[in-house]
A and B are shown apart, each in its own frame.
Chain A
Amino acid sequence: MYTKDGTSYFIVDAHVALWDARPENQRNVHGKQFIDCFYDYHRNLSPESELWTYEEYLYQGGERFMKDLFEDGYVDHAIFQPARLGEFYVDGFGQTEEAWALTQANPGKLTYNHNFDPRNGEAGLDQLRADAERFGLKGVKLYTAEWHGDSRGYRLDDDWTRRYLEVCREVGIRNIHVHKGPTIRPLDRDAFDVADVDHVATDFTDLNFVVEHCGLPRLEDFCWIATQEPNVHAGLAVAMPFMFTRPKYFGQILGELLYWVGEDRIQFSSDYALWTPRWLVESFVDFEIPEELTEYPALTENQKRKILGLNAAAMYDIEVPAHLRVADADETATGPRGADRVADDLVGA
């Protein structure tokens, strides 16, 4: 919980990882390239006071994880969203056993989501059923640019992925977190295309699709899909730290999301260990849409409370103390929010 000026915020960090990118776990040069790319994100978008050394960045371990999130970071509940990256790391990138042990050792604080790869065929379906039972899965994290043998990506609307989503339904996994990354076959088309989210969201209306980093770098396509599909949500992984380095851009992202997607379908995350939650939570509570962006209404306290935790808590049935709750917005399920205000909004541009 974070309290500022008499207002308290229930914090759910909806996208965290316990990763191991140390050289001994790197399978090949791509393992190094991958963590180096993350580290450049970290260096580029962090305030100087929050910078880690490269060594710290490679691996954190459970103790530091718990401290960064729950002692220093105001987090009430965090959700593991592990990327496997088996072609890059010997023992995978996200550390399943360590994360699961931590989840069990800290009841009520952590939710463990796992992942699947539709290219594992029938055997993978059995594994998904077994994983769902072992971990009590409510959600999965899918990285569509995961490499697998000679395949360098898959789509959510592939036949095999659909079969996996049917099993998700069957075993009670309701929340599908999608991380769109580059490289997908065929290379002819846009590698960051989010159209496949649209197709499965239409066909699996009982599942929630949380698109991480709100579809960036295809924010506009994501917004358009989310405005039509009431079960599509925006995860703010990677987008959050723009608040510090690029406040205008962050204001635009948030303004667009609130307009197209709505305040009940946006989820905060630190994307730990890309960044740590403490400064992000503090900065977000203080954040205001920059004055020059007159086309967007001011952020409300309730919007911040929803984004920082209440939305993800609702999706994961996480118990929120009564005094920290806020009512849902009275908004349409689809279509732009406040479409009646559209004319005024545009004049302000």
Chain B
Amino acid sequence: MTADSRRADARRTEAWRALDRVIDPELDEPGTDLDFVASLEVSDDGDVAVHLRLPTSFCAPNFAYLMASDAKAVLSELDWARSVSVALDDHHDSAIINAGLAADAGYRGTFGYEADDDLEELRTTFRRKAHVAAMERSLTALMAAHPWRSPQDMATVVLGDLPPGRTTDDLLDRRSAIGLSTRPDAPVMVDHLGAGYVGLDVQLALRRARSTRISIEGNAHFCRGLLRTRYDDPDRTTISA
């Protein structure tokens, strides 16, 4: 292997790792895990070309744009990247989005009159949902491990009570993303402003959080399946039950 090709390989890996940071806000998972990266090419001179794909032509264009522009942003941060091109394939708004990305037109420049301000509120909405789902996963796991704890007790659980591991790490990440404390003495069961729940609201909020978690997990499952149907094996007609 030549020095040039070794370098290109290393850069390609670096580019993949950068793309791991592009999250589908709705599904709360990296686009790389969801198989949204159709191709990634890195030339010897540091030109990066990415094609993204989605489960359907009619996936919401704002999320599509968000992920494509995030991909361009994280790749452009690579200090060796001479040029970065990101294209979204097979979407009803591919032409609009790809033209906007190529011109670095920004959200409003890309969508014109259909854009009012920016997509930050949208991003925030889904970060809050991701937090709710992560909170529910942590507390449900805690109740399963400690059957003597009642749902009502969940109102007084603090971060330090949670066992180390992936579920807790995910919760801490989601809390950081919306500006909630990650100190061990911080209560787990809080809304996006950090306010806790009391009385009957505790159980209702937990029950509601469960429906949020189910919704996100179900959507992610369905989107994965649709993407497989759409791309991976055009001859495959059905999946096994």
Contact = CB atoms under 8 A, between A and B. Distances in A.
Contacts of B55: 40
Contacts, number: 147
Contacts of A347: 143, 147, 150-151
Interface string B50-91: 000001111111110100000000000000000000000000
Nearest to A33: B57
A203 B125 CA distance: 26
B211 interface: yes
Nearest to A224: B208
B206 A346 contact: yes
Nearest to B211: A220
A219 B218 CA distance: 10
Contacts of A327: none
Interface stretch (B3-11, B107-115, B171-179, B191-199): B107-115
A220 B56 contact: no
Contact of A343 (B203, B238, B241): B203
Interface residues of B, number: 56
Interface of B: 26, 55-63, 65, 92, 111, 113-119, 121-122, 125-126, 129, 140, 143-144, 147, 150-152, 203-204, 206-208, 210-212, 214-215, 217-219, 221-222, 225-226, 228-230, 237-239, 241
B231 to A, nearest CB: 10
Contact of B144 (A33, A187, A349): A349
Interface string A276-304: 00000000000000000001000000000
A242 B221 CA distance: 11
Given A51-B238, A342-B203, A190 B61 contact: no
A43 interface: yes
B214 A192 contact: no
A237 B231 CA distance: 25
Name which of B60, B61, B143 has the most chain A CB atoms within 10 A of its CB.
Answer: B60
Name which of A150, A182, A260 has the most chain B CB atoms within 10 A of its CB.
Answer: A182
What 8 pairs between A and B have smallest CB-CB spacing? A33-B57, A182-B60, A186-B116, A346-B151, A220-B211, A191-B60, A44-B229, A219-B215
Nearest to A221: B215
Interface residues of A, number: 54
13 contacts: A34-B58, A44-B229, A47-B238, A187-B65, A188-B62, A188-B115, A188-B118, A191-B61, A216-B218, A217-B218, A217-B222, A249-B214, A253-B218
B226 A41 contact: yes
A217 B215 contact: yes
A185 B112 CA distance: 11
A46 B238 contact: yes
A40 B238 contact: no
Interface string A177-195: 0000111011111111000
A347 B140 CA distance: 8
Nearest to A151: B114
Contacts of B212: 220
B112 to A, nearest CB: 10
Contacts of B237: 43, 48, 51
Given A182-B60, A188-B116, A191-B62, A217 B219 contact: yes
B57 A37 contact: yes
A242 B219 CA distance: 12
- Chain A at the B interface: mostly helix, strand, loop or mixed? helix
Contact of B207 (A30, A183, A336): A336
A333 to B, nearest CB: 17
Contacts of A245: 225, 239, 241
A244 B212 CA distance: 23
Interface of A: 30, 33-34, 36-37, 40-41, 43-48, 51, 150, 152, 181-183, 185-192, 216-220, 223-224, 242, 244-247, 249, 252-253, 256, 259-260, 295, 336, 339, 342-343, 345-347, 349
Nearest to A250: B218
Nearest to B129: A220
Nearest to B212: A220
A30 B210 CA distance: 36
A223 B211 contact: yes
A224 B65 CA distance: 29
A345 B229 CA distance: 36
Contact of B211 (A190, A219, A345): A219
Contact of A43 (B61, B211, B214, B229): B229
Given A33-B58, A183-B61, A191-B62, A343 B214 contact: no
Contact of A187 (B114, B151, B207): B114
Name which of B61, B125, B218 has the most chain A CB atoms within 10 A of its CB.
Answer: B218
Given A30-B92, A185-B114, A188-B62, A256 B121 contact: no
A30 to B, nearest CB: 6
B241 A47 contact: yes
A266 B38 CA distance: 39
Nearest to B57: A33
Nearest to A34: B58
Given A36-B57, A188-B121, A342-B204, A48 B218 contact: no
A189 B229 contact: no
